[in-house]
Amino acid sequence: MPEGTRHTARLCRRMRDLAVAALHERDPSRLHRLVLAELLSACDAEVVVFKEGTWRTDAGPMTIATAGGADAALTDERARRQIRTGRPFSDYYATTRDTTPLTAQEIGRALDLRDVRDFAPGRRFAFGIPLPDTYSPVRGYVLLRPDGAFTAADRTYGAQIQPLLHAVDRQWELLSQWHAMRREPSAGGEAAGGRAACAEAGLTPREQAVLLLLADALTAAAIGRRLGIATRTVNKHIEHLYRKLGTRDRVATVNRARVSGLLPR
């Protein structure tokens, strides 16, 4: 096996291990930070941005991680406005519905390449990794570095880790929803009460996510698609929920979860 291929395989194993660890993380705010740190290291990038939703120059959620002293340039509001636009990647992925990780040079218009230089001052090379099935708005990662174009090995790595990034993002989305429900008055108490109920029932973060989707009456196959896991894995989580909550079917499981304060009534 060529050395470059072995290196990419090692990086993919690291991301796989990180994704598995993320499924046991109870704090959704930590999930994307873990991924950003790994992407910085794996792709030898100086800046990596997670694009969480529609980007505009004046607003829009984003998470930024930097290596070395790169964060100093990102305090400039002009640079942050450019980062929020997500160009050229946001325009390209939204209009083409392509999901291939690409460099800015591959997207290729002169105007876009100028925008890359403005994206973060002094950073001439950019690489986009979109999350699958998130065309509008596009969600995903943009990596930046000042010298050395992103390579074919980087693009191969990006393509191979997309399913893992997708699974972590779905877990983040569901855990965030879970935490939001626990903060609502209708959820039957404060967030601390919800966490205590989950701890008492012994539910893992992934089991909480599956339970939340069971409450939406999704099938095992649909839950698997939402979480980026196999249907048989979903069924195993459902079996664990039955055992931990002392139930035998989905309806009873959801009802028991509501009575126990695991789900809003």
Which tens digits make up the pLDDT trace of 83-104?
777 777 877 887 888 889 998 8
Mean pLDDT of 47-73: 70
Tally Cβ neighbours within 10 Å of residue 94: 17
pLDDT higher than threshold 50 for residue 190: no
| Residue 68 contacts residue 46 (beta carbons within 8 Å) | yes
Q: Tell me which CATH code domain 184-259 carries.
A: 1.10.10.10
Where are the domain boundaries for CATH 1.10.10.10 in the chain? 184-259
Two structure tokens written together for 236 = 């195993």
Going across the sheet that includes 47-51, the strands are 62-66, 47-51, 138-145, 125-135, 102-103
Residue predicted with more confidence, 57 or 78? 78
Angle between helices 220-227 and 231-245 (to 10 degrees): 110
Strand partners, 141: 50, 129
Q: Exposure of 260 by Cβ count < 10 A (0-12 exposed, 13-18 middle, 19+ buried)?
A: middle
| Residue 119 contacts residue 126 (beta carbons within 8 Å) | yes
Tally Cβ neighbours within 10 Å of residue 77: 9
Q: What kind of fold does domain 3-165 have according to CATH?
A: Beta-Lactamase (3.30.450)
Residue predicted with more confidence, 75 or 116? 75
d(CA 6, CA 74): 34
Where are the domain boundaries for CATH 3.30.450.270 in the chain? 3-165
Which is it for the CA torsion 100, 154, 163, 104, positive or negative? negative
Least confident of 70-74, 171-175, 261-265: 70-74
pLDDT higher than threshold 90 for residue 218: no
Q: How confident is the model at residue 187 (pLDDT cuts 50, 70, 90)?
A: very low
Q: Is 134 helix (H, G, I), strand (E, B) or coil?
A: strand
| Residue 170 contacts residue 161 (beta carbons within 8 Å) | no
